[in-house]
């Protein structure tokens, strides 16, 4: 079952807290059953056609691996291969500076950032919160009104799997 909640922050007082709490509860249950060891995939893309994925591995509550891949279909852009795809181990985390790569953080940190930053009430924005990963967060963020291209501020998680 896919749960989707789209929240548009306007002058009306919209309460997303219940849906966030339900998703956080699903995350808490998953965290217990997985021993806090899991892998999640963050995806992104641009209107001009390129896309990227970052896979973060968490072992017993700590980031232990980060994999990144940038896809530029049909491009003749000369980007070095080591910037298009790479893997960092626990001792190498954050050694690549590819700005499109998701940070190696836990889902606890993502839920915290969602509550503190992405889901706060603002004027002139549309806020999105989706829970397509068995009730866990799949998309969370906001877009400023009037923005046309690549405007999403937040995170899109395509999958969350136990190790």
For residue 18, name the pLDDT band (cuts at 50, 70, 90).
Answer: confident
Q: Is the pLDDT of residue 12 over 70?
A: no
The model's pTM: 0.86
Helices (H), the chain: 17-33, 81-84, 107-113
59-75 confidence digits (pLDDT tens) = 999 999 999 999 888 76
108-132 confidence digits (pLDDT tens) = 999 999 999 999 888 999 999 999 9
- In angstroms, the CA 108 to CA 119 distance is 15
Asked whether 42 and 34 are in contact (CB, 8 A), the reply is: no
- For residue 7 the two structure tokens come to 């929240």
């Amino acid at each position: 079952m896919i749960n989707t909640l789209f929240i548009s922050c306007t002058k009306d007082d919209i309460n997303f807290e219940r849906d966030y709490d339900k998703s956080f509860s699903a995350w808490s249950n998953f965290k217990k059953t997985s021993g806090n060891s899991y892998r999640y995939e963050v995806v992104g893309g641009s209107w001009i056609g390129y896309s990227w994925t970052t896979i973060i591995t968490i072992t017993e509550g700590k980031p232990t691996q980060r994999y990144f891949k940038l896809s530029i279909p049909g491009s003749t852009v000369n980007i070095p291969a080591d910037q298009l795809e790479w893997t960092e181990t626990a001792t190498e985390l954050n050694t690549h500076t590819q700005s499109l790569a998701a940070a190696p953080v836990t889902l606890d940190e993502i839920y915290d950032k969602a509550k503190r930053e992405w889901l706060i009430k603002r004027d002139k924005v549309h806020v999105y919160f989706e829970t397509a990963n068995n009730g866990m967060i799949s998309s969370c963020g906001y877009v400023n009104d009037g923005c046309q291209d690549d405007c999403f501020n937040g995170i899109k998680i395509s999958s969350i799997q136990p190790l």
